[in-house]
Amino acid sequence: MMMAAETLVRLRAAAGAAGWSEDAAEIAPLLIDWRDKYKGATPLLLKPNSVEAIAAIVRVCAETRTAIVPQGGNTGLVGGQTPSAQGNEVLLSLRRMNRVRNVDALGNTMTLEAGVVLADAQEAANGAGRLFPLSLASEGSATIGGLISTNAGGTGVLAFGTMRELVLGLEAVLPDGRVWHGLSALRKDNTGYDLKQLFIGAEGTLGIVTAATLNLFAKPAAIETAFAAVPTVQAAVELLSSAQAHGGTVTAFELMPRIGLEFVLRHVPGTRDPLAAAHPWYVLIDISLKAGEATGVAADVLVEAANKSLILDGVVAQSQAQARALWKLREDLSGAQKPEGGSIKHDVSVPVSAIPAFIERAGAAVATLVPGARPVPFGHIGDGNIHFNISQPVGADTQAFLARWNEVSRAVHDIVVHDFNGSISAEHGVGQMKVDEIARYKSAEAIDMMRSIKQALDPLNIMNPGKVVRVRPPV
Amino acid sequence: MMMAAETLVRLRAAAGAAGWSEDAAEIAPLLIDWRDKYKGATPLLLKPNSVEAIAAIVRVCAETRTAIVPQGGNTGLVGGQTPSAQGNEVLLSLRRMNRVRNVDALGNTMTLEAGVVLADAQEAANGAGRLFPLSLASEGSATIGGLISTNAGGTGVLAFGTMRELVLGLEAVLPDGRVWHGLSALRKDNTGYDLKQLFIGAEGTLGIVTAATLNLFAKPAAIETAFAAVPTVQAAVELLSSAQAHGGTVTAFELMPRIGLEFVLRHVPGTRDPLAAAHPWYVLIDISLKAGEATGVAADVLVEAANKSLILDGVVAQSQAQARALWKLREDLSGAQKPEGGSIKHDVSVPVSAIPAFIERAGAAVATLVPGARPVPFGHIGDGNIHFNISQPVGADTQAFLARWNEVSRAVHDIVVHDFNGSISAEHGVGQMKVDEIARYKSAEAIDMMRSIKQALDPLNIMNPGKVVRVRPPV
């Protein structure tokens, strides 16, 4: 279905002079995701820089039944930000909505527009002597609106929660083009249904987030970073519980398998094993301290853990440079899987205490399906969130391995859901990638409620249709 | 409208042998709230003890278009748990749904049925060496289901959030009698709209919460309690920020005015002023410490605050008995207002940094309306949540004073919303009391979204109708 020329004229007028583009060279990079999995098409890029212009655009969309796909930094991993390949949806970039509207240091809040890049948001907080704790690999590109719409996680969730916990209020353009002025700096408000919760994690299917008021925190006076080898995943889970009983706050607790460390040491120049011998599993720990809090906590944690036989060896960073080097091992883990060939990836969560059993059972299932395949389970163990990635067998054909993605994923997801009541998308969302997969695993009651909400709030099905929940069969 | 005898027969059958009552003496106390503001009527009390029985009951309600009002400990303050006075609604008590289904100490979660009393929930966590941090005055009666349905707050919100932040998963009976099995112990799950958020704070208008999986925390090794006099509310806000930069965790930070302390000293036997002189404002502070954390934090906080002239005087409890005595001053503050005559009460919130200006402006407005009226603003200053209660002028006629409730509330609420973008119900909810009041203050967009959600999920309008949001004009 082509879009009527008259509709495009009206949309351009609504966006204003510098608020749109039909330049294929400008649009092209926004139509493909960074993993190269989804490729969309659109006749028109809209890039307004005011909530009024976005409201005007959405009014035209509603009147003309035109589907609209919002996009922030285009760092999503499930195709939520990519329009359909049929070219019948307009793309709305929020990147020019990038003002910091307010920072209230004493009140510990800041109000930002949706297009502010996460790194800039962190810096706005930092400049006011405060911490905005959300942190993830794509923070140089990902925007606040996208992070809210996908309820982003990252490494700070253990202490500060996902984006959902960091949002106090929202401003959003509703599917009929009205503006919901829900910005609020309140910590408590029980005047009815908590509407902002609907937009957080909805991936633009219920409306377009244009601004948010976010929670800020005191900056830590110091962060102690430790890297320790553990004999088992169970020991890692127990070490977390033990570390949390010490002073300071455990602000990151990441799990890595030996094979993952080997990938990094092999493929990333300048990295080295922090420990003398090889061990089966590792954890990377950040402990944040406030002014006046006793230091040396990380060392205490490791000594106690060694006494309880929870760790085999460990080091505490003695400088910021050493801490950065330890973190680099974790951050390069995704990239270091690429030179090892195909990787079938899963972003799953289970209850924290079930992580050891899950990793074992999923690994066994994969070994049966694809003998020689190499699981590289890593991630945010304190959140129960494991990136259960599987590298191809050494020397195997990459395409043949990747062709088995759905079969392998089905086996892993079956274990996640049926054995552990877990989630098949812990932090990346649903998008296009998992819209049919979640319908398979969620109950009929849950899918029906999602569909009822979508139909109630977006009866024309123009807001990022086909993402998160289908209200009509796919064309 | 009378309920058909046939409907009552079917409902009794669905509830099972011990699952209902028509005994007026048993029902009567459930039809009146503890502030004596709302009085309901019902032909039938249902008190099932299984989710299957509740589902069967709701199926009958749906088939017969019978309205149903869920109730937990009957401690609500806004009439949300009270059926209509017309006797055309059945009352569903969840109190017999009171099993502790599971406590997972390592995973820091527990799963409880809706009728478990908060004090018992705290004890279940405590018995497993964990902390369930929700705490409020009615914890000996209030139930988990009611606390979830009203998104309860209390004194622990500053460090642990409201009930919304403590819920990981829910089980609920939907308005068509199906059961949504949404119990989950996951910290992260981005597989679509976060449905549990809809039931939290919905006061039973979208379905009936029957069980929940809740977040647990490490128990503090020690709690230091301090009581300090501050010259101004602004100083109290700054003291909070200063205390949070010290070691340990500020787990409570409560504000009291001098007049409130005087009421307690006058009316509660055995209380005494902890400080030698009278001062305008007081704060009560709890600082929780983990094992191994340096003690003496509360004293450090007070010394630093004195050096910055943020406090005028202060004491740190030297024993648990002293700490209890300090907390008793705060806990008896509500009750101590009763002997002073009529009290017009407000449960409002504003951004934390706006609290000083709000208290001043609201006090001035009240003084103009009712000369001699005595504001007693107190509460959870770290959450921006002030219980802005106003005692009648000394010697005034109580009924004449209370007759001005709506007029005074209108003035206070106008300042809360229009001047400070605050909330007219910070933690008590909407119920019957504020259903028309919130419609006055919330935007048309917000009310429309609430109504759309209600109609989408409860199209027959049988779930606690007339509470939170009206979909039909009041009869």
CA distances from A65 to A90, A347, A427, A464, B36 (A): 11, 34, 31, 12, 52
Best residue in B109, B168, B193 for a mutation probing chain A (most A CBs within 10 Å): B193
Backbone φ and ψ for A373, nearest 5 degrees, come out as -60, 145
B194 to chain A, any CB pair closer than 8 A? The answer is: yes
Q: What are phi and psi of B188, to 5 degrees?
A: -140, 130
- The confidence score (pLDDT) of residue A278 equals 98
The per-residue pLDDT for A473 is: 63
DSSP letter (8 states) at residue A31: G
Is A247 close to B434, i.e. CB distance below 8 A? Answer: no
What's the rounded Cα separation, in Å, for the pair A330 and A324?
10
Mapping DSSP to helix (H, G, I), strand (E, B) and coil, where does residue A385 land? strand
The span from the CA of A49 to the CA of A92, in Å, is 11
Q: Would you tell me how many other CB atoms lie within 10 Å of the CB of residue A319?
A: 9
If DSSP codes are grouped into helix, strand and coil, which group holds residue B1?
Answer: coil
Residues 137-156 of A with CB under 8 A from B: 150-151, 153
Rounded CA gap, A350 and B320, in Å? 40
Q: How far apart are CA A146 and CA B225, in angstroms?
A: 42
Token pair, residue B201, equals 């704070």
**H helices present in A19-174, as ranges:** 24-27, 51-64, 118-127, 144-149, 157-160, 163-166
Residues A253 and A155: their CA atoms lie apart, in Å, by: 8
User: Which helix H or strand E contains A70, and what residues bound it?
Assistant: strand A67-71
Check CB contact under 8 Å for B157 and A192: no
Q: Which of B48, B45, B21 is nearest to B114 (CA)?
A: B48
- Give kind and range of the element (H or E) at residue B376: strand B374-380
Burial label, B218 (beta-carbon count in 10 A; 0-12, 13-18, 19+): middle
Provide the β-strand partners of residue B1.
none
Beta-sheet pairing, B249-257 with B281-289: antiparallel
Q: Are A56 and A443 a contacting pair, CB within 8 Å?
A: no
Of A338-347, A450-459, B283-292, B355-364, least confident by mean pLDDT is B283-292
Q: B351–A104: do the CB atoms touch at under 8 Å?
A: yes
Kindly report, residue by residue over B421-467, the tens digit of the pLDDT: 999 999 999 999 999 999 999 999 999 999 999 999 999 999 999 99
Q: Are the beta carbons of B385 and B427 closer than 8 angstroms?
A: yes
> Apex CA B330: angle with CA B328 and CA B335, to 5°?
85
What pLDDT does residue A474 have? 54
Confidence check: pLDDT of B472 > 80? no
Closest CA to A279 of A241, A238, A235: A235
CB contact under 8 A, B445 and A181: yes
Q: Say what the pLDDT of residue A287 is.
A: 96
Distance from CA of B147 to the nearest CA of A (A): 12
Residue B441 sits at the chain A interface (C-beta within 8 Å): yes
pLDDT at B137: 86
Outline where A308-443 has alpha helix (H): 320-331, 355-369, 398-402, 405-414, 420, 435-441
Q: Does B440 touch chain A (CB under 8 A)?
A: no
Residue A178 sits at the chain B interface (C-beta within 8 Å): yes
- Angle (CA) A169 A173 A176, round 5°: 140
| DSSP class of A392 | P
Burial of residue B448, with CB atoms counted within 10 A of its CB: 0-12 exposed, 13-18 middle, 19 or more buried = middle
B114 neighbors B213 (Cβ within 8 angstroms): no
pLDDT for res B41? 97
Q: So what's the pLDDT on residue B412?
A: 98
Residue A192 CB: number of other CB atoms within 10 A? 26
Are the C-beta atoms of A238 and B106 separated by less than 8 Å?
yes
pLDDT less than 70: residues of chain A: 1, 473-475
The owner of tokens 């005994």 is B23
Mutating which of A104, A174, A193, A453 best tests the B interface, going by the most B Cβ atoms within 10 A? A193
Minimal Cα–Cα distance from B158 to chain A, Å?
A: 9
Cα dihedral A410, A415, A417, A418, rounded to 10, equals 110
What H or E segment, with its residue span, contains residue B214? strand B208-215
- Per the DSSP assignment, residues forming a β-bridge with B229 are B282, B313
How many degrees, rounded to 5, is the angle at CA A133 between CA A191 and CA A237? Answer: 100
Q: Is the pLDDT of residue B291 over 70?
A: yes
Taking only residues 413 to 432 of chain B, the set having a beta carbon closer than 8 angstroms to any beta carbon of chain A reads 421-430
User: Which residue type does B313 have?
Assistant: D
Torsion of CA A443, A448, A453, A458, to 10 degrees: 120
What are the chain B neighbours of A446 within 8 Å (beta carbons)? 180, 182, 192, 195
Q: Do B452 and A449 touch (CB under 8 A)?
A: no
**C-alpha to C-alpha distances, B161 to A196, B154, B331, B414, nearest whole angstrom:** 16, 9, 20, 27
Q: Which two tokens stand for residue B386?
A: 């002030």
Q: Closest chain B residue to A107 measured between Cα atoms?
A: B353
Token reading at A373: 């395949």
Amino acid at B105: A
Q: What is d(CA A472, CA B355) in angstroms, rounded to the nearest whole number?
A: 49
What amino acid occupies position A196? Answer: K
- Residues 6 or more apart in contact with residue A149 via CB below 8 angstroms: A70, A72, A80, A199, A200, A201, A202, A203, A204, A209
At residue B294 the predicted structure's pLDDT band, cuts being 50, 70 and 90, is confident
| CB-facing half-sphere around the CA of A379: CA atoms within 13 A | 27
| Cβ distance of B292 and A151 shorter than 8 Å | no
- Tokens linked to A293: 């809090």
Per-residue pLDDT reduced to its tens digit, B51-82: 999 999 999 999 999 999 999 999 999 999 99
Q: Does B237 touch chain A (CB under 8 A)?
A: yes
Distance CA B71, CA B14 (A): 18
A73: Cα within 13 Å, side-chain hemisphere = 25
| B121 token code pair | 């929930």
Predicted pLDDT at B394: 97
Distance CA B221, CA B218 (A): 9
Residue written as token pair 């553990």: A230
Mean pLDDT value across residues B243-253: 90
Closest Cβ opposite residue B457 in set A380, A383, A452: A452
Per-residue pLDDT of B172-184, as tens digits, reads 999 999 999 999 9
Contact indicator for A154, A286 with CB cutoff of 8 Å: no
* pTM given for the model: 0.95
- Nearest to A167, CA basis, from A107, A112, A221, A226: A112
DSSP symbol at A269: T
Structural element, H or E, at residue B252: strand B249-257
Cα–Cα–Cα angle for A152, B199, B412, rounded to 5 degrees: 95
